[in-house]
Amino acid sequence: RLYYFSQTYSQPLWWDEADYMDMARAWSGSNVIWLESSVRPILLPFLAFLFMFLGLGETSIRFLIMLSSIASILLLYGIGNLFFNKRIALISSFILAIFWSFTFYSYRILTDVPLIMLWLATIYFFFNAYFKEKTWKSYILPGIFLGLSFLIFL
């Protein structure tokens, strides 16, 4: 993942990536004229706005997307291990790690890969709470991840 990140971090933005970044730039007070529409979700542009507010650029946002890709692989391993065994967990996480479209979108400022990570985190923490902990407090974390997944998708 780091090799492909080093090859793609300086690529120009696609039009839909640029739309997310324009939203973030408009929120940061720059001279970008962007009319709000209900088409784009707000969590990814808000994260980009926070990164720009902290003085970090596009590369750091791309790096965050790549980290969410790695976290997705680890979460899928955890789900496979929780429901089946380590062998199934390794096979499923390996398939996700080499799947071409998941790998391709791991280096774009789009909502696809972070959404998968948030869904997998919701599933993992919910069933971990259901099978192991069984207290009402252990269901708060999956609820947070579910809410964030709605904010990054809808």
**Per-residue confidence (pLDDT) for residue 37, from 0 to 100:** 66
Which of these, 136, 68, 148, 61, lies nearest to 102 by C-alpha position?
A: 68
**pTM score, whole prediction:** 0.89
pLDDT profile of the chain (154 residues), mean per 10: 88 87 83 70 92 90 95 97 96 96 93 96 95 86 95 88
**Per-residue confidence (pLDDT) for residue 87, from 0 to 100:** 97
**Per-residue confidence (pLDDT) for residue 89, from 0 to 100:** 97
The tokens for 35 are 């009319």
3-state secondary structure of 104: helix
Give me the numbers of helices (H) and strands (E) for the chain, helices first please. 8, 0
Burial of 29 (0-12, 13-18, 19+ CB in 10 A): exposed
**Per-residue confidence (pLDDT) for residue 10, from 0 to 100:** 86
**Per-residue confidence (pLDDT) for residue 111, from 0 to 100:** 93
**Per-residue confidence (pLDDT) for residue 38, from 0 to 100:** 64
Instruction: Specify whether the CB–CB gap between 43 and 88 falls below 8 A.
Output: no
- The Cα 81–Cα 90 span in angstroms is 8
